[in-house]
Structure 1
Amino acid sequence: MSAGLALLSRVWTELGGDPRILGELASGAGEVPLPSRVATGDLAWASVGLATLAAGRHPSAMDPARIAMAYRSERVLTIDGTAPPVWAALSGFWRTADGWIRTHGNYPHHATGLRAGLRLGSTADADDVRDALAGRTSAEAIESISAAGGLAVAVSDEDPAADARLRQTALLDIRPIGTADPRRDVLSGSSSYPLTGIRVLDLTRVIAGPVCTRTLALLGADVLRVDPPGLPEPEWQHLDTGHGKRSTLLDARSARFEDLLAGADVVVLGYRPAALARLGLDPPSLARRHPGLIVAQLSAWGMDHPQRAGFDSLVQAESGIALIESPDGDRPGALPAQALDHSAGYLLAAAVTMLLRRRAHEGGSWWVQTSLRRVAAELLGMPRRAEPDDEVALDPAPHVARFPVGDTELVTARPALPGFEFAAPHPWGADQPRW
Structure 2
Amino acid sequence: MTLLTALPDTDRYHLTSNGHLHSAFAVTDLANASIGAVGQELASLIEAMNLANSAPEITVDQRLASLWFGYSFRPEGWELPHLWDDIAGVYKAQDGWIRLHTNLPHHRKAALRVIGCPGTREAVADAVKHWQADGLESEIVAAGGVAAAMRSRVDWKMHPQGRSVATEPLIHWTGPAPVKLRDRPEATAARPLAGLRVLDLTRVLAGPVSTRTLAGFGADVLRIDPPGWDEPGVITDISLGKSMAALNLTKGSDRQVFEALLNQADVLVHGYRPGALDGLGYGAETRRQLAPNTVEVQLNAYGWTGPWATRRGFDSLVQMSAGVADAGRNWAGTEKPHPLPVQALDHATGYLMAAAVLSALTAAAQGEAVPQARLSLARTAELLAGMEKSAEGPEITGPVDSDYAPEIEASSWGPGRRLAAPLRMSGIAMRWETAATSCGSAPPAWA
- TM bracket, shorter-chain basis: 0.7 to 0.9
> How big is each residue's C-alpha offset from its partner over 1:101-149, in whole Å with a ceiling of 9 and x where there is no partner?
111111122111111111124xx21111101101111123223322332
Q: Distance in 2 between matches of 1:156 and 1:319?
A: 6
> How big is each residue's C-alpha offset from its partner over 1:61-118, in whole Å with a ceiling of 9 and x where there is no partner?
22111112111116x5337521431122222111001110111111122111111111
Q: State the partner residue of 1:5.
A: none
Number of aligned residues: 414
> How big is each residue's C-alpha offset from its partner over 1:405-426, in whole Å with a ceiling of 9 and x where there is no partner?
2462234434322241233123
Q: State the partner residue of 1:179.
A: 178
> For 2:20, what is the secondary structure of its paired residue?
coil
Q: 2:36 is aligned with what amino acid?
A: G
> For 2:153, what is the secondary structure of its paired residue?
coil
Q: Structure 1 residues 252 and 153 mapped into 2: Cα distance closer, same or farther (>3 Å)? A: same
Q: State the partner residue of 1:424.
A: 435
Q: 1:38 is aligned with what amino acid?
A: F
Q: State the partner residue of 1:299.
A: 300
Whether the 8 Å contact between 1:235 and 1:428 is mirrored in structure 2 is no
> For 1:370, what is the secondary structure of its paired residue?
strand
Q: State the partner residue of 1:278.
A: 279
> For 1:193, what is the secondary structure of its paired residue?
coil
> For 1:139, what is the secondary structure of its paired residue?
helix
Q: Distance in 2 between matches of 1:358 and 1:32?
A: 35
Q: 2:435 is aligned with what amino acid?
A: A
Q: Distance in 1 between matches of 2:76 and 2:277?
A: 33
Query: Do structure 1's residue 246 and structure 2's residue 264 form an aligned pair?
Result: no
Q: Distance in 1 between matches of 2:372 and 2:283?
A: 10
Q: State the partner residue of 1:371.
A: 376
> How big is each residue's C-alpha offset from its partner over 1:218-238, in whole Å with a ceiling of 9 and x where there is no partner?
1111110000124x2223311
Query: Do structure 1's residue 287 and structure 2's residue 288 form an aligned pair?
Result: yes
Q: Structure 1 residues 134 and 79 mapped into 2: Cα distance closer, same or farther (>3 Å)? A: farther
Q: State the partner residue of 1:66.
A: 64
2:415 to 400, 406, 409: 409
> For 2:91, what is the secondary structure of its paired residue?
strand
Q: Distance in 1 between matches of 2:336 and 2:122?
A: 18
> For 2:235, what is the secondary structure of its paired residue?
helix
Q: Distance in 2 between matches of 1:218 and 1:249?
A: 22
Q: 2:218 is aligned with what amino acid?
A: G
Q: Distance in 1 between matches of 2:25 and 2:387?
A: 7
Q: Distance in 2 between matches of 1:185 and 1:136?
A: 59
Whether the 8 Å contact between 2:83 and 2:232 is mirrored in structure 1 is no
> How big is each residue's C-alpha offset from its partner over 1:250-285, in whole Å with a ceiling of 9 and x where there is no partner?
022411111111100111001222212212334443
Q: Distance in 1 between matches of 2:370 and 2:249?
A: 21
Q: State the partner residue of 2:134.
A: 139
2:322 to 319, 324, 328: 319
Structure 2, gaps ≥5 residues long: 44-54
Q: Structure 1 residues 316 and 411 mapped into 2: Cα distance closer, same or farther (>3 Å)? A: same
Q: 1:110 is aligned with what amino acid?
A: H
Q: 1:426 is aligned with what amino acid?
A: T
Query: Do structure 1's residue 54 and structure 2's residue 41 form an aligned pair?
Result: yes
1:96 to 81, 93, 96: 93
Q: 2:39 is aligned with what amino acid?
A: T
Q: RCO greater where, 1 or 2, for CA within 8 Å and sep 6 or more?
A: 2
Please show how residues 163-174 of structure 1 align to structure 2 within 5 Å.
166-174=165-173
Q: Distance in 2 between matches of 1:166 and 1:347?
A: 17
Query: Do structure 1's residue 196 and structure 2's residue 185 form an aligned pair?
Result: no
> For 1:336, what is the secondary structure of its paired residue?
coil
> For 2:198, what is the secondary structure of its paired residue?
strand
Whether the 8 Å contact between 2:40 and 2:58 is mirrored in structure 1 is no
Q: Distance in 1 between matches of 2:185 and 2:274?
A: 29
TM-score normalized by structure 1? 0.87
Whether the 8 Å contact between 1:62 and 1:416 is mirrored in structure 2 is yes
Q: 1:48 is aligned with what amino acid?
A: I
Query: Do structure 1's residue 354 and structure 2's residue 359 form an aligned pair?
Result: yes
Q: Structure 1 residues 406 and 188 mapped into 2: Cα distance closer, same or farther (>3 Å)? A: closer
> How big is each residue's C-alpha offset from its partner over 1:328-377, in whole Å with a ceiling of 9 and x where there is no partner?
24211010100000000000101101211211221545311100000001
> For 1:425, what is the secondary structure of its paired residue?
coil
Q: State the partner residue of 1:225.
A: 223
Q: 2:295 is aligned with what amino acid?
A: I
> For 1:62, what is the secondary structure of its paired residue?
strand
Whether the 8 Å contact between 1:300 and 1:315 is mirrored in structure 2 is yes
Q: Structure 1 residues 16 and 309 mapped into 2: Cα distance closer, same or farther (>3 Å)? A: closer
Whether the 8 Å contact between 1:117 and 1:147 is mirrored in structure 2 is no
Q: Distance in 2 between matches of 1:396 and 1:120?
A: 44
- Kindly state the Cα deviation for residue 165 of structure 1 after the two structures are TM-superposed: 6.2
Query: Do structure 1's residue 215 and structure 2's residue 239 form an aligned pair?
Result: no
Q: Distance in 1 between matches of 2:413 and 2:149?
A: 42
Please show how residues 386-401 of structure 1 align to structure 2 within 5 Å.
390-392=395-397, 394-400=399-405
> For 2:34, what is the secondary structure of its paired residue?
helix
Q: Structure 1 residues 130 and 89 mapped into 2: Cα distance closer, same or farther (>3 Å)? A: same
> For 2:388, what is the secondary structure of its paired residue?
coil
2:4 to 11, 15, 21: 15
